Chain A
Amino acid sequence: MSSLTDQGDPAAGAALHAAFPEVTSAPVVWRGDVTLQVQPAHEAAVARHARDSLGYELFIDRFGADRGEDAEPRFDVITILYNLQARRRLHLCTTLPGLDPQCPTLVGVFRGADWFEREAFDMYGVRFTGHPDLRRILMPEIFPDFPLRKEYPVEGLGAFAAPRRAIGGNVDGTDGQVAIIGRAPGGPAP
């Protein structure tokens, strides 16, 4: 169990915060993971510093997250970097507004961020400014919505909705009940 809780790197988090005191928060440590809040405009500079000066040269992941329609700032973009020598991991997190979320790209620092940013755009509508080829990657190009946003229903919308299936009662599904994938915990039993 100890191994699970010592994967983060508080020292590197503190060093990054010391190098960029204005634009980063103090590192937060929970269950051994170290997360640093970074202002979007300075994320590339912070990541470059982590790569070149602190040894975080392996790009692991970059993805979006939604805190809900009412939250402001609403979106997070989380980046995970890895230090092969120290064998430690570092999380960078930037927060973005709910309306027109924009964030400078990391492609200039880590080439591999390309597809990951396309996915975050595809799922949440986060625009990565400066990205060389920002278009959908997993969803079809004609898909109208951003499916991982909280307001998007799990069974889909419009032409992309899951086929309706009657539960008991009417065969044509006119009772309005939709068989969704599994039962939402806490929700009504099907």
Chain B
Amino acid sequence: MSDARTLDVEVGDDRHSESMLINMGPQHPSTHGVLRLVLELDGEVVVKAEPVVGYLHRGKEKIGESLSWHQFIPYTDRLDYLAPLANNVAYAVACEKLMGIAAPPRAEAIRVICCELARISAHLLGLGAYAMDLGAMTIFLWTFREREQIYSLIERICGARFTTSYTRIGGLERDLPSDFAALLDAFVREFPGRVDEYESLLTRNKIWLRRTQGIGVISRERALQFGLTGPNLRGSGVEHDLRKAHPYCGYEQYEFDVPVGTTGDCYDRYMVRILEMRESARILRQALDTLPSGPVINRESDAVLKSVLPQKEKVLTNMEALIHQFMVATDSVNAPLGEVYFSAENPKGELGFFLRSDGGLKADRLRIRGPSFANLQVLGEILPGHMVADVMAILGSIDFVMGECDR
């Protein structure tokens, strides 16, 4: 399909002109952040494309080697900054895997709620920006209406809207407020109808179909070769979701489907995200209905106690707890010698943490496998042959975030 479109616009050899080099980004509005594309154009057709990344590199992996395990949590907020809660969860579970700690059931259920809220919020922004880049302004405003609701929920959870830092090794920073269940219930009730609204504007819209179908096709083989994960991999027809493959935080308790595409074009990636938002709402409903009671941080054994922060209320009133808090946050945490890899199904794909501990107070190596880094690499392969206007469609459909690409 993409070939057919390409042939329409290809000019004969006799009309070949000199190719033109264009810098798209790092400040171009459709690159959402600081991606730079060096495009070689023949007329309006892309001949060669080279993504240039690194403009948002902040040395997170280096910083991770100089901070204690707990101190790194706020840095995870700024990886995929559209889904900070999901990053917090992924990092905490990675540390727990290294240290052999399990979070209590209530903490796990709340983590699932956090991850799915983050997923919906990230997909909403991805969808809104994607549609806006293709000229459908309304969607952007509508998705931000729901994102505002989600941010209010997140504010109720942890006090911050954006930089959440909500998880702790072994559990969560605090429990949900008492009115949270009612607020989330109202949101989950309303949300599927909102997705219907987005779909009514796009899914069968002729212009939208024309702009996305057969554009930016990524074959299954290419997706695997380039390490694509998340909705981009599923759009290419690969049914791979870490929540199903290696359930963490008790994902095996919830019923949900993994939507996959067939052709791997921009439209399939759009549909996968739409369906994933509906599935996330299903998970939220189940998690809310089956939310267990109990503590939100593991304080069961002495070994665990040395690496888990004390309750915040006690820290403010009790001297021993204050000392304990200080020791855990700066100097302690008994991570054993060894290395682990843990990855979570984040909105953009597989966010992995490789933690190598030399038995000390901090990581010897803290590798962050950002899904957008791998997802962007494929652009150099799929952009050539498309028109410049299609570049915006493809960028929108890949739905990347530079915070976790450049780290």
Assuming the contacts A31-B98, A65-B367, asked whether A111 and B354 have C-beta atoms less than 8 A apart, the reply is no
Residue total for B at the interface (Cβ-Cβ under 8 A): 58
A65 pairs with B227, CB closer than 8 A:
no
Assuming the contacts A31-B100, A58-B240, A148-B61, asked whether A112 and B66 have C-beta atoms less than 8 A apart, the reply is no
A-B contact pairs, 16 of them (CB 8 A): A3-B252, A4-B248, A4-B342, A31-B338, A60-B227, A60-B352, A60-B369, A61-B369, A84-B240, A111-B222, A111-B381, A138-B53, A138-B407, A154-B59, A184-B66, A185-B331
Complex interface bits, A162-185 against B, C-beta within 8 A gives 1, otherwise 0: 000000000000000000111111
B67 pairs with A185, CB closer than 8 A:
yes
Complex interface bits, B231-262 against A, C-beta within 8 A gives 1, otherwise 0: 00100001010000111100010000000000
Contact of A181 among B66, B248, B341, B354 (CB under 8 A): B66
Which residues A96-113 have CB closer than 8 A to chain B?
A: 110-112
A95, chain B: closest CB distance, angstroms: 13
Bound Cα distance from A115 to B369, whole angstroms:
12
B102 pairs with A180, CB closer than 8 A:
no
Q: Which 3 A-B pairs have the closest CB atoms?
A: A112-B226, A185-B361, A138-B54
Complex interface bits, B23-67 against A, C-beta within 8 A gives 1, otherwise 0: 000000000000000000000000000000110010101110111
The answer to whether the Cβ of A63 comes within 8 Å of any Cβ in the partner chain is yes
Beyond A3-B247, A60-B343: 10 further Cβ-contacts under 8 Å?
Answer: A57-B224, A58-B227, A58-B233, A80-B341, A80-B369, A84-B238, A152-B62, A154-B65, A180-B66, A185-B362
The answer to whether the Cβ of A158 comes within 8 Å of any Cβ in the partner chain is no
Bound Cα distance from A63 to B71, whole angstroms:
23
Main secondary structure of the interface of A (DSSP, over half): loop
Interface centre among B227, B356, B362 (most CB of A within 10 A): B227
Complex interface bits, A124-149 against B, C-beta within 8 A gives 1, otherwise 0: 00000000000011111000000110
B323, chain A: closest CB distance, angstroms: 14
The answer to whether the Cβ of A43 comes within 8 Å of any Cβ in the partner chain is no
Assuming the contacts A61-B227, A63-B367, A111-B225, asked whether A185 and B247 have C-beta atoms less than 8 A apart, the reply is no
Taking CB as reference atom, which chain B residue is nearest A78?
B354
Contact of B374 among A112, A154, A181 (CB under 8 A): A112
B354 pairs with A63, CB closer than 8 A:
yes
Which residues A62-92 have CB closer than 8 A to chain B?
A: 63, 65-66, 78, 80, 84, 87, 89, 91
A162, chain B: closest CB distance, angstroms: 10
A residues less than 8 Å from B225 (CB atoms): 59, 110-112
